[in-house]
Amino acid sequence: MADDLPQVDTKEFLRPILFGLAEEELDDLARAAVVRSFSPGAAICREGEPAGAFFVVVSGRVAILKQLDDQTERLLHHAGPGEFFGEMAIVQESGRTATVRAVEPTLVLEIGREEFLSVLGRSPSLAVRILVHLTDRLRSADQQAIVELRQANEELRRAFARLERLDRTKSDFIQVSAHELRTPVAALKGYAQMMKDHPVVKKDPSLSALVEGVITSTDRLHRIFDNILDLSRVVAGGLEIHRSPVSLAIIFQGIRLEFSEALERRNLTLELVGLSGLPFCPADPDLIYKAFRHLVNNALKYTPDGGRITVTGQQVSLPDLGDCVEVVVADTGIGIAPEDLDLIFEKFYRTGEVALHSSGTVNFKGGGPGLGLAIAQGAVLAHGGRIWAESPGYDEQTCPGSRFIVQLPLGGTG
């Protein structure tokens, strides 16, 4: 195959490329050079390989490629006749930092590592030429990286704008749908309540059970629609805060009363500690009730039957928030995986298998659209407070539990 290669006067070819190189050094490089031919797509050298040679492109074109984590190759730049590559790995005494492939039928001069280093050691002009070449390559790479970064940022900006529009459209659709559906559900609930009080229904236990089922289902639908509307206001930043002095002890007594049937049925204990001694909190009673109701509901869902939920309150003084009430809702449930701690407050996010979310909202690992914690966070933030979750981890066997901490400023007046 070597006989089929074109004849190349290597010394005269290298002379203008390595301008200023002494004749003796030029002769040495020319004698060491081997002409090699590569077909399109063939690898001349590969990333990570030992640096055994220095290459000069005689004809054709090569692509300098960097392998990415997903095993694809990213084009760094092209090199054509008179350009060289492979010198950096030799100078640095390291493996190849890129793969070089022929883009089209290509001839290169291959000069062995020892011969190249021998001439480089005797010739300051060659060292300068290599240094200038490396500097130009780095400058070109920097410029290309800047251009690509600008393009990537612009693509991300456009993608983010599209996502924002889609999210607004989705939120608007959900909000309108919730409004439209809540009205007939409210009417259905009213008619069902009237049926429940009808003498005929009261006399027939089977009819009474059916009507009670309709009322229970419509109550659940109504709560879901209310949650969706609350969330839409949270997302839009439209929560209106109407502050008044709020007793958190009374708030949690109401929550315990609301969940009393579920607590008794599932043999769960809801313990309130230190709430009666807290000062009144300047807050919106309805929003604060909803926030803590969702936290207790979440604890109910992820605590096995027979477990315990403890709500603890205390007054604290913080450097950034000043005097606050701090409420901790702790449970003996299945806990939260570390990777989920930053996600559980996202709207529609739910832990566990989705298939399990079809049962009642107060059953163990029960249903729900994944809105409660997002609403709770929105309500707390709207009051100028903060909320976060802590857990040793997720384990359905040992049940390490989780803690939700809420801090609400006592000085809020907005």
Report the SS3 class of residue 45: strand
Q: Residue 347 pLDDT more than 80? A: no
Q: What is the pLDDT of residue 238?
A: 63
Let me know: does 361 contact 301? Beta carbons within 8 Å.
Answer: yes
* CATH number of the domain bearing residue 88: 2.60.120.10
> 252 and 228, same structural domain?
no
Same domain, yes or no: 278 and 384: yes
Look up the pTM and report it.
0.55
Whether 308 and 185 map to the same domain: the answer is no
Q: Is 161 exposed, middle or buried (0-12, 13-18, 19+ CB in 10 A)?
A: exposed
The crossing angle, in degrees rounded to 10, of helices 124-196 and 205-236 is 150
Q: How far apart are CA 228 and CA 217, in angstroms?
A: 17
Q: Yes or no: say if 252 and 275 are a contact pair by the CB < 8 Å rule.
A: yes
- 222: containing domain: 161-234
The domain that holds 276 is classified in CATH as: 3.30.565.10
Task: Based on the fold, state whether residues 255 and 389 are members of the same structural domain.
Answer: yes
Query: Do 78 and 215 have their domain in common?
Result: no
For the residues 191-209, what does the mean pLDDT come to? 83
Residue 2 has pLDDT above 60, yes or no: no
pLDDT band (50, 70, 90) for residue 247 = very high
The answer to the question of residue 290 being in a domain is yes
Mean pLDDT to the nearest integer, 138-152 = 72
* Residues 229, 244 within the same domain: no
Q: 183 and 42 in one domain?
A: no
pLDDT given at position 358: 46
State whether 246 and 229 are in the same domain.
no
Lowest mean pLDDT among 54-58, 92-96, 153-157, 402-406: 92-96
Asked, for residue 144, whether it belongs to a domain, the answer is no
264 or 159, greater pLDDT: 264
- Give CA separation, 302 vs 257, 313, 334, 383, in Å: 19, 22, 6, 27
- Cα 93 from Cα 114, distance rounded (Å): 12
Q: Is 147 buried (19+), middle (13-18) or exposed (0-12) by CB count in 10 A? A: exposed
* Spatial separation of the C-alpha atoms in residues 54 and 96, rounded to whole Å: 11
Could you tell me if 346 and 370 lie in one domain? Answer: yes
Number of domains making up the chain: 3
Question: Rounded to the nearest 5 degrees, what angle is found at the Cα of 280, between the Cα atoms of 384 and 263?
Answer: 90
Averaged pLDDT, 347-363? 56
| Domain closes at, from 74, 104, 122 | 122
Cβ pair 344, 337 in contact under 8 A? no
Bridge-based pairing of strands 34-38 and 244-246 is unpaired
Average pLDDT over residues 379-387: 91
Name the band, by pLDDT with cuts 50, 70 and 90, for residue 175: low
The segment with the largest mean pLDDT, out of 47-56, 114-123, 224-233, 359-368, is 47-56
Single-letter amino acid, residue 253: Q
The answer to whether residue 111 is domain-embedded is: yes
Which percentage of the chain shows pLDDT scores above 70? 80
**What pLDDT is stored for residue 327 in this prediction?**
97
What is the reported pLDDT for 1? Answer: 41
Over range 136-149, report the average pLDDT. Answer: 69
